Amino acid sequence: MKNTPFTNKHIALGAKMAAFAGYNMPISYTGINDEHQAVRNNAGVFDVSHMGEFILKGENALDLIQRVTSNDASKLTAGKAQYSCLPNEKGGIVDDLLVYCIEENKVYMLVVNASNIEKDWNWISQFNTKGVEMHNISEKTCLLAIQGPNASSILQPLTDIELVNLKYYTFAKGIFAGVHNVLISATGYTGAGGIEIYFEDKDGAADKIWDAIFETGGPKGLKAIGLGARDTLRLEMGFCLYGNDIDDNTSPLEAGLGWITKFTKDFTSRSIFEQQKAAGLKQKLVGFEMVDKGIPRHDYEIKDAAGQVIGRVTSGTQSPSLQKAVGLGYVNTAFSAQDSEIFIAVRDKLLKAKVVKVPFLS
């Protein structure tokens, strides 16, 4: 099992640790609900250094990205990022990812899910027929996500980059906590605002940045946050989790990701998605909230009033912000309209739920 440069910090803080994507990661420190509320109401720090990062360089870098991703990366200018996915050749999803434009038409960084690093690298590599320079920098790249409504203002003293004015899905490179060449991005997986910072751990950079963040933010209530709260935070926003809500067998259109599926260019499975769009989708990913008491869990069956299976739960939790149980799941399109009555099979019971609009938080 691998460690991140911050593993000893987590252990010293008393984190509950567990294996995740081959890494020893913090699941919680003071409890998921407490950490969740800290991010929603103030700010918290996530170690997500297990994520994967690839650099693509050269005159054909954009061409390669355009062929393997669903979104239109030609719209990106230097300093901008976009959410996208890697479709497979059967209309499913290899992974979802972020695409960062470092230098327009020439240098890009792809940020992929930790469990898919090797899979994604191999997938993209097979399409690299025009000599694009590819570098897997995952092992040497640290990534901290500082999320929450007060995150940017708390961290502003540590950098000359104007964090508060950094627009959503843009980024800048500069000095942070005395460390040079730090990429600071106005992105995140919580819907609570904040930034993510990428940097190489050399000359003690990881310790220096972590310590500076907590020396500055600790007195202002900044907390270390584990992956447990990261999951409840993203679920309240209806953000997809690869392996749960999207995978090799789900199409981006079914997952509500039509907005990152652009038919203005050629890419893997484009014709399949066009056919799906023309014929109409057979299933859709929907948000739902429980009417009866009970918590939906991954892979629970979703049924209609007659007890017929109409889908399955992909993610579910007791929402700390809403104080009610919510979930995501695929259902037959006939049951996907808002306020549709559905039932979650929990052991030998059918618990009533209703389809609602996502994000769950307004």
Tens of pLDDT along 69-81? 999 999 999 999 9
Average pLDDT of every residue of the chain: 98
Answer whether 191's CB lies under 8 Å from 358's CB: no
pLDDT for position 115: 97
3-class DSSP assignment, residue 251: coil
How far apart are alpha carbons 260 and 257 in whole angstroms?
6
Q: How many helices (H) and strands (E) does the chain have?
A: 8, 19
- Res. 344 pLDDT band, cuts 50 70 90: very high
CA distances from residue 38 to 204, 206, 212, 225, 276 in whole angstroms, order as listed: 28, 23, 19, 9, 41
Cα dihedral 190/196/201/202 (nearest 10): -170
Domain ranges for the chain, please list them: 282-356
CATH class of 282-356: mainly beta
- Pairing status of strand 223-225 against strand 44-47: parallel
Q: Is the pLDDT of residue 362 over 90?
A: no
C-alpha to C-alpha distance for 156 and 151, rounded to whole angstroms: 9
Measure the CA–CA gap between 197 and 142, rounded to whole angstroms.
8
pLDDT tens-digit profile of 81-102? 999 999 999 999 999 999 999 9
Classified as helix, coil or strand, 335 is helix
Average pLDDT over every residue of 341-347: 96
In the prediction, which pLDDT does 125 show?
98
